[in-house]
Amino acid sequence: MVSVCLYFHVHQPHRLRNYHVLDIGEDNDYFDTEENKRILQRVTEKCYLPMNNLLLDLIENHPDRFNVSFSISGTAIEQMEAHAPKALQSFQDLAATGNVEFVNETYHHSLAYLNSKDEFDKQVQKHREALNEYFNYEPTTFRNTELIFNNELAEYVENKGYTALLGEGADHLLGWRDPNHIYSTPITDDIDIFLRNYELSDDIAFRFSNESWEHHPLGADTFAEWIDAINGAGEIVNLFMDYETFGEHQWASTGIFDFFEAMVNDVLDNRDNDFLTIEQASDRYPQRGEVDAHHYTSWADARRDLGAWQGNELQRQAHDELYKLEEFVKESDDNDLIEAWRRLTTSDHVYYMYTDGRSDGDVHDHFSPYDSPYKSYMFYMNALNDVARRLGTTSQQRPLSETPSTLLNDIPEEEERMHS
């Protein structure tokens, strides 16, 4: 018996507009609402609606054997509500089938765990409430932004009551072992670690339309055979990917939708196979081994580390400055300001600042709204300078500092901040 765990990630950031130096103090709308709306509506038409309909059909045809898991960031949910209500309704229809799990994460798709546990907890709670409100769902599975995790994070979320956690099936974690089992960590008790099968996931997400790939064009029957072949050697196949794979990264014209439908039917032709949510698989299968995640891993780029978001000095510096403003922002009791600051915690902003010109850089460019990582840094830092100005404690009307927090009066002692 093999159970396929499909997990789809849905996310839309609030992308920054070209927020110029001379806008500081003049305009505190940092986000490009029109562009964000345009992108969301395009993805809704090309991906969310057709793929949700396909999943609804498959659930209807195989109500007992076809289940899927989703994570939908809070920033995606709220933008759908505002600009693409049909998309939100469509996800709610999926929720109503009972065959869909919603995985909990940070509402703002942030890297808060790395910088502020307090902010991390708040964003996770806010996302949990959103899953309750929009999908009537009580989550038990957790995923951190970009599948970033290590042993301590697993322990942290286990202590919060989660029973399953998603991670990347990175080679350096698994060594000779495969990702087709549930794992534990050395410092956790019961939480089930589900590791992405990156080979099979990326066959669909990245290689499907690559004409120079040896298996192109990939047949549904071929892929189903690869899954069947895991019978006897593994229990689960974790196919984790961005939901935009369907229709946006791989256009409809590549045949991705037909492939997916045929693949599900082919896999289910073997009566031993089924598709389970993470939660269902966690209930059914035992832990078979332990992975020791000393260092953070993620599902991004070739190195599977934090390099995509914290790899260069621009990214680290911008992120540090953001969190140095945290306490001041929260003390302001200015809800607009707090929400603007939270939107700046979204990991996409630092992702756009990636400067490596190698092959991964191409992937970053593909997803970046800016033509240069320096511009994305500049607009971001300009926004942080304006946040500092709005806090009203800087003496400069139009600050322009790479350390805007130092412009604020009454800077608390380092120790005090550490304890807060």
Partner 1 sequence: MNILMLGWEFPPFFAGGAGMVCKELTRALNDLGVNVTFVMPKGPKDVYQRVNEQTPDSFEIRIADSHRKTTFVPIQSLLGAYDSQQKYSERYDEVEGADNAEDTLYGGNLEEEMYRFANVVTSMFHDEDFDVIHAHDWVTHPAAKQLKEVTGKPLITHVHITEHDKSGGLGVDPFIESIEKEGVDASDRVITVSHRLKERLIESYDQPANKIDVVHNAPLPMDKGEGAKTFFHDLDQKIVLFAGRVTLQKGPEFFVDAAAEALQHDESLLFVVAGDGDMLGDVMEKAAEHGISKHFLFTGFYTREEANALFSMADVFVMPSVSEPFGIVPYEAQTMGTPTIVSKQSGISEVLNHTFLVDFWDTRRMAEYMLSLAHYETMNDVMATNGQQEVEERTWHGPADECKTIYEELKSQW
Q: Which residues are catalytic?
A: 146
From 86, 172, 221, 374, residue interacting with partner 1 (rule: CB under 8 A)? 374
Q: Residue for token digits 């304006």?
A: 386
Residue 213 binds partner 1, judged by CB under 8 A: no
Binder to partner 1 among 27, 221, 313, 416 (CB under 8 A)? 313
Q: State how far Cα 266 lies from the chain centre.
A: 29
Q: How far is the CB of 74 from partner 1 (least distance, A)?
A: 30
SS3 209: coil
For 82, half-sphere exposure in the C-beta direction (CA atoms, 13 angstrom radius) is 14
Q: Do β-strands 141-142 and 164-168 pair in parallel, antiparallel, or remain unpaired? A: parallel
What is the 8-class DSSP label of residue 397? S
Residue 419: HSE in the Cβ half-sphere, 13 Å Cα cutoff: 4
- State the Cα–Cα distance between residues 405 and 400, nearest whole angstrom: 11
Output Rg (C-alpha) for the chain, integer angstroms.
22
Provide φ and ψ at 195, rounded to 5°: -105, 135
Q: How far is the CB of 413 from partner 1 (least distance, A)?
A: 25
If you search the block for the tokens 């809070």, which residue do you land on?
74
Question: CB under 8 A: which stretch of 65-73, 264-272, 276-284, 370-378 binds partner 1?
Answer: 370-378
Q: Binding string, 3-22, against partner 1, x = CB under 8 A? A: -----------------xxx
Stretch in the footprint of partner 1 (CB under 8 A) among 7-15, 150-158, 213-221, 308-316 = 308-316
400 binds partner 1 (CB under 8 A): yes
**317 forms part of the interface with partner 1 (CB under 8 A):** yes
Shortest CB 383 distance to partner 1, Å: 13
Q: Print the binding letters for residues 378-397 with partner 1: x by CB under 8 A, - otherwise.
A: x--xx---------------
Options 115, 209, 254, 355; binder of partner 1; rule CB under 8 A:
355
What does the alpha-carbon distance between residue 53 and residue 55 come to, in Å, rounded to a whole number?
5
Contact 188, 155 (CB under 8 A): yes
Cα torsion 128, 134, 139, 144: sign = negative
Q: Find the part of the chain contacting partner 1 (CB under 8 A) among 42-50, 139-147, 173-181, 374-382.
A: 374-382
Residue 82 or 400: which CB sits closer to partner 1?
400
What's the burial of 159, exposed, middle or buried (CB within 10 Å: 0-12/13-18/19+)?
Answer: exposed
H or E stretch at 80: helix 74-83
Stretch that binds partner 1, among 184-192, 236-244, 251-259, 375-383 (CB under 8 A): 375-383
Q: Could you say which of 357, 366, 413, 415 contacts partner 1 (CB under 8 A)?
A: 357
The answer to whether residue 27 forms part of the interface with partner 1 (CB under 8 A) is no
Least distance between partner 1 and beta carbon 320 (Å): 10
Q: Which stretch binds partner 1 (CB under 8 A): 29-37, 175-183, 225-233, 400-408?
A: 400-408
Strands (E), 47-191: 68-72, 100-102, 141-142, 164-168, 182-184
**How many C-beta neighbours within 10 Å does residue 279 have?**
20
Shortest Å distance, C-beta 22 to partner 1: 7
Q: Which is nearer to partner 1, 238 or 382 (CB)?
A: 382
Size of the chain in residues? 420
Contact 170, 201 (CB under 8 A): no
Interface pick for partner 1 out of 401, 411, 412, 417 (rule CB under 8 A): 401
**Considering the complex, what minimum distance in angstroms separates the CB of residue 356 from partner 1?**
9
Please, which residue, 213 or 374, has the CB nearer to partner 1?
Answer: 374
CA torsion angle for 238, 239, 240, 245 (degrees, to 10)? Answer: 180
Q: Which stretch binds partner 1 (CB under 8 A): 152-160, 181-189, 206-214, 372-380?
A: 372-380
Compute the least distance from the CB of residue 277 to partner 1, in Å.
Answer: 43
How would you classify the pairing of strands 182-184 and 3-10? unpaired
Number of residues that bind partner 1 (CB under 8 A): 20
Name the site residues for partner 1 (rule: CB under 8 A): 20-22, 312-314, 317, 355, 357, 372, 374-375, 377-378, 381-382, 398, 400-402
